[in-house]
């Protein structure tokens, strides 16, 4: 399918954060763009603001004067809705309100050509519901950009029940021509990113609520070990706890209060206390001038070992052995005495990658002084690791476990015996929710990973990550969590189970 011709005029309605960014993207792609806002002067102010930003980009060498001037020449602010009559595509980024969006599109329908396309940048309203008010709902599609639109690569192209297939194809091709990664999704709560990302925040809030460890340690482990660019708490503080809590509540309610998306009481308290994050100078961290924030918990120097014994298959953690070899440790491989995942014996400690049980529960299998460690995005390059000792583990054994990871160059944080730990539990839940979106025909598997990598900068798509861990292990973690908590929240997506039984990839049909 062909994209919209670059000579076609694009209308953008709403000259706020998103509308201004979208107008810039369309103009950068060569379209004449008309920007309208119901607040008089807002559209011209937005274009003036863009001009200032682009001039700074010229100074920094990010763009040329000619590019800036030609982009600005294609942008026009208009003061009447009627001035959008000749637009081939009109994208709205007005207030997030169903009635306002419906009224706007109804008013536009009487002005534009028969084949003009309407797009909504809504992040939470049903595209089907917005389209239902139109005479020709087939012309309406969701075009969900991410903030800041000129820099974020992702566009979710959302089809409502009545959206035309040709309209969807044209908008997919157009978003791609604008230099974006476009993914298709069906209009469902949260679309892809805002649905799949929920566990990133929710699991961190649960870990905090259950006293696994503190805020800075969770963030440090998610970044240093999980490879996420931002920790969940600093990200919630950046988004705003009120905004983040509202998105969670919307998704939860829209899914008929599916426990999988249950909002956090801790976050509700933060909102009640007006600890909204950066914008109120206090959130999970303190942003007031001179405030001292606590540092992540870091273990003192442990016992550096000379040798380790490895029992059974370490799975995703096998890369640790290459590191141990590089650190000069002698490695002895033994067959496992017990079925299931393998473990490493270091001094008096038994080290095993968490499997969704608590270490205390697993130790009852006969593993003495068991210390669980968390999943790393890449065990070779991870800068830190979290350890969780079983209740009966003695202090000397824990020092052996700590020393082993320190010998491998990792900073160690000892946390409470928390089932599934921090990174592993989060990644398994992200993957499970992502796979369930595929199961429910929202989008395909590739779209989930592209959306999470490009829309929220995850270091790896959660589905590819699940395959790296091993799908059977992911199911094992979730089943163990479901048993411990007795909550629906951790139920395994039927598609994930099917892929394990069929020994097939998440990316194959
Ligand atoms: P904003 O508050 O910065 O801008 C909204 C603009 O729309 C304002 O300038 C306002 O004067 C104008 N407006 C309101 N009602 C109007 C109407 N009936 N006709 C014409 N103009 C009208 O809002 P923001 O953040 O840009 O969000 C806009 C839309 O984009 C919302 O639907 C939001 O959910 C969605 N969105 C927001 C993202 C974000 O990070 N801010 C990300 C992705 C989507």
- Gap between the Cα atoms of 262 and 248, Å rounded: 8
Q: What is the pLDDT of residues 25-53, one digit of tens each?
A: 999 999 999 999 999 999 999 999 999 99
pLDDT at 404 over 60: yes
Task: Render 465-483 in DSSP notation, one character per residue.
Answer: HHHHH-HHHHHHHHHHHHH
- Helices within 62-132 (DSSP H only): 65-73, 98-109, 127-131
Region of 61 (left: φ > 0; alpha: ψ -120 to 50; beta: rest) is left
- Report DSSP state, residue 225: T
**Tokens 């983040």 sit at which residue?**
244
- Gap between the Cα atoms of 346 and 307, Å rounded: 7
Pairwise pLDDT comparison (341 vs 319), residue with the higher score: 319
What separation, in Å, do the N-terminal and C-terminal C-alpha atoms of the chain show?
24
Reported as a pLDDT band with limits 50, 70 and 90, residue 337 is: low
Residue 468 tokens, joined: 């790296």
Q: Which helix (H) or strand (E) holds 156?
A: strand 154-159
Ligand 1 atom 9 nearest Cα: 16
Residue 62 tokens, joined: 């990010």
Residues with CB under 6 A from ligand 1: 13-19, 37-39, 42, 93-96, 100, 104, 121-123, 145-147
Residue 349 tokens, joined: 């400690």
**If you average pLDDT over every residue of the chain, what do you get?**
96
pLDDT at 336 over 80: no
Residue 303 tokens, joined: 């016992």
Ligand 1 atom 44 nearest Cα: 123
Contact criterion met (CB below 8 Å) for 48 and 69 = no
Mean pLDDT of 340-367: 93
Q: Say what the pLDDT of residue 391 is.
A: 97
Q: Is 144 a catalytic residue?
A: yes
Kindly give the number of the ligand 1 atom that is closest to the alpha carbon of 15.
9
Q: Is 281 a catalytic residue?
A: no
Ligand 1 centre distance from Cα of residue 99 (Å)? 14
Ligand 1 centre distance from Cα of residue 243 (Å)? 14
Reported as a pLDDT band with limits 50, 70 and 90, residue 314 is: confident
Q: Say what the pLDDT of residue 334 is.
A: 86
Q: Say what the pLDDT of residue 496 is.
A: 98
Q: Is 432 a catalytic residue?
A: no
What string of H, E and C letters represents the secondary structure of 339-408? CCCCEEEECCEEEEECCCCCHHHHHCCCCCCEEEECCCCCCCCCCEEEEEECCCCCHHHHHHHHHHHHHC
Q: What is the pLDDT of residues 59-87, one digit of tens each?
A: 999 999 999 999 999 999 999 999 999 99
Q: Say what the pLDDT of residue 338 is.
A: 56
Q: What is the pLDDT of residues 77-135, one digit of tens each?
A: 999 999 999 999 999 999 999 999 999 999 999 999 999 999 999 999 999 999 999 99
- Gap between the Cα atoms of 131 and 161, Å rounded: 9
Mean pLDDT of 259-273: 97
- Please list the residues that pair with 411 across neighbouring strands: 384
Ligand 1 atom 35 nearest Cα: 122
| 123, 187, 345, 480: the active-site residue | 123
Kindly give the number of the ligand 1 atom that is closest to the alpha carbon of 21.
26
Reported as a pLDDT band with limits 50, 70 and 90, residue 340 is: low
Ligand 1 centre distance from Cα of residue 169 (Å)? 25
Q: What is the pLDDT of residues 409-465, one digit of tens each?
A: 999 999 999 999 999 999 999 999 999 999 999 999 999 999 999 999 999 999 999
- Gap between the Cα atoms of 446 and 507, Å rounded: 7
Q: Is 79 a catalytic residue?
A: no
| 77, 163, 194, 369: the active-site residue | 194
């Amino acid at each position: 399918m062909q994209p919209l011709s670059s000579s076609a005029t694009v209308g953008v309605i709403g000259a706020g954060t998103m509308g201004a960014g979208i107008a810039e993207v369309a103009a950068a792609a060569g379209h004449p763009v008309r920007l309208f806002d119901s607040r008089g002067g807002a559209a011209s102010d937005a274009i003036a603001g863009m001009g200032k930003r682009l001039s700074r980009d010229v100074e920094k060498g990010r763009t040329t004067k000619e590019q800036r001037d030609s982009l600005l020449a294609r942008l026009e602010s208009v003061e009447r809705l009627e001035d959008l009559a000749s637009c081939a595509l009109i994208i709205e980024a007005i207030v997030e309100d169903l009635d306002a969006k419906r009224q706007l599109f109804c008013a536009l329908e009487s002005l534009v050509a028969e084949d003009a396309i309407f797009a909504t940048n809504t992040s939470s309203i049903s595209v089907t519901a917005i389209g239902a008010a139109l005479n020709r709902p087939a012309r309406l599609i969701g075009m969900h950009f991410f903030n800041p639109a000129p820099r974020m690569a992702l566009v979710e192209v959302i089809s409502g029940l009545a959206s035309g297939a040709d309209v969807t194809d044209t908008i997919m091709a157009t978003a791609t021509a604008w230099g974006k990664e476009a993914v298709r999704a069906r209009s469902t709560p949260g679309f892809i990113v805002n649905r799949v990302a929920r566990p990133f925040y929710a699991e961190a809030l649960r870990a905090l609520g259950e006293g696994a460890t503190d805020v800075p340690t969770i963030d440090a482990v998610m970044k240093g070990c999980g490879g996420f660019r931002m920790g969940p708490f600093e990200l919630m503080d950046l988004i705003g706890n009120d905004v983040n809590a509202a998105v969670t509540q919307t998704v939860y309610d829209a899914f008929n209060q599916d426990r999988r998306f249950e909002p956090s009481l801790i976050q509700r308290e933060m909102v009640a206390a007006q600890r909204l994050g950066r914008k109120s100078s206090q959130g999970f961290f303190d942003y007031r001038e001179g405030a001292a924030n606590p540092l992540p918990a870091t273990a003192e120097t442990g016992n550096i070992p000379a040798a380790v014994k490895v029992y059974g298959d370490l799975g995703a953690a096998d890369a640790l052995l290459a590191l141990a070899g590089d650190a000069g440790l002698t490695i002895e491989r033994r067959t496992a005495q017990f079925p299931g995942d393998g473990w490493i014996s270091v001094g008096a400690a038994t080290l095993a990658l968490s499997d969704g049980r608590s270490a205390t529960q697993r130790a009852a299998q006969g593993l003495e002084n068991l210390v669980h460690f968390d999943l790393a995005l890449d065990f070779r390059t991870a800068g830190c690791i979290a350890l969780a000792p079983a209740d009966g583990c003695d202090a000397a054994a824990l020092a052996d476990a700590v020393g082993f990871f320190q010998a491998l160059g990792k900073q160690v944080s000892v946390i409470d015996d928390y089932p599934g730990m921090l990174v592993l539990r989060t990644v398994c839940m992200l993957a499970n929710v992502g796979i369930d979106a595929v199961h429910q025909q929202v989008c395909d598997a590739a779209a989930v990973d592209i959306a999470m990598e490009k829309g929220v900068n995850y270091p790896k798509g959660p589905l590819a990550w699940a395959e790296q861990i091993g799908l059977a292990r992911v199911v094992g973690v979730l089943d163990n969590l479901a048993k411990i908590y007795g909550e629906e929240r951790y139920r395994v997506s039927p598609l994930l189970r099917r892929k394990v039984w069929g020994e097939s990839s998440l990316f194959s049909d």
